[in-house]
């Protein structure tokens, strides 16, 4: 692939990222991405043979951004695994609530199932970080850290979805997602040790 091709491929992904941010996942048609990139409606097929290929490339950008934010948040808190888990949870929820279209795209079952552009593998380092932090933060013997991390992730994913729909605010009488994050961590790791708030 020459430099021009690489540039256009990157431009199509960039346009898709902007489009999903501004108008949501439903706006991500090949035709609309091509129009906004200023190319013919058939041009994306040269770089992305299927719509799923292009959506996967866009979703990879979301995983890269979320992973970078998580790494940055966690790296500043070297000592306390519970504090790092709390920071990771905040980043995850902030990303999900602030990037609804991208978040929805990243976890589309058909994209992950097809594994185009190794999309599943792109998401695994972030889950690996969660597993490692769960293993460090748990003081009680019990379920495998991978299982606890999976349950915690599912819990956070549910919080993000239900908060985004407005359901949790109504049902829990909450106006802030922070207490829900703390409750999820307590549920999966046990109560936080007494000390300064993280």
Q: Look up the pTM and report it.
A: 0.87
Helix/strand/coil for 124:
helix
**What is the pLDDT at residue 11?**
93
Q: Which contacts of 124-130 are long-range, i.e. CB under 8 A and separated by 24 or more positions?
A: 125/67, 126/63, 126/66, 126/67, 126/70, 127/153, 129/70, 129/71, 129/74, 129/88, 130/85, 130/88
Distance CA 68, CA 82 (A): 19
**What is the pLDDT at residue 187?**
93
Distance CA 29, CA 137 (A): 43
Per-residue pLDDT of the chain (198 residues; tens, 9 = 90+): 545 556 888 999 999 999 999 999 899 988 899 999 999 988 888 888 888 889 989 999 999 999 999 999 998 777 788 999 999 999 999 999 999 999 999 988 777 677 776 777 888 889 999 999 999 887 667 789 999 999 999 999 999 999 999 999 999 998 999 999 999 999 999 887 765 544
Rg (CA), the chain: 19
Distance CA 59, CA 70 (A): 16
Task: Check the CA dihedral 5-9-12-17 and report its sign.
Answer: negative
The residue length of the chain stands at 198
Distance CA 105, CA 111 (A): 8
**What is the pLDDT at residue 197?**
47
**What is the pLDDT at residue 49?**
87
């Amino acid at each position: 692939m020459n430099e021009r091709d690489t540039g256009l491929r990157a431009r199509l992904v960039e346009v898709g990222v902007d489009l999903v941010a501004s108008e949501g996942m439903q706006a991500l048609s090949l035709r609309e991405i091509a129009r906004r990139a200023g190319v013919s409606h058939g041009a994306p097929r040269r770089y992305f043979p299927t719509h799923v290929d292009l959506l996967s490339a866009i979703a990879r950008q979301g995983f890269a951004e979320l992973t970078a934010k998580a790494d940055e948040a966690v790296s500043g808190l070297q000592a306390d695994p519970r504090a790092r888990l709390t920071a990771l949870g905040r980043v995850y929820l902030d990303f999900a609530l602030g990037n609804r279209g991208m978040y929805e795209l990243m976890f589309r079952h058909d994209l992950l199932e097809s594994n185009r552009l190794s999309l599943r593998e792109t998401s695994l380092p972030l889950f690996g970080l969660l597993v490692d932090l769960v293993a460090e933060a748990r003081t009680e013997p019990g379920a495998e850290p991978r299982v606890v991390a999976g349950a915690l992730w599912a819990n956070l994913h549910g919080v993000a979805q239900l908060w985004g729909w407005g359901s949790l605010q109504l049902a829990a009488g909450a106006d802030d997602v922070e207490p829900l994050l703390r409750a999820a961590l307590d549920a999966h790791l046990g109560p936080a040790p007494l000390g300064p708030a993280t």
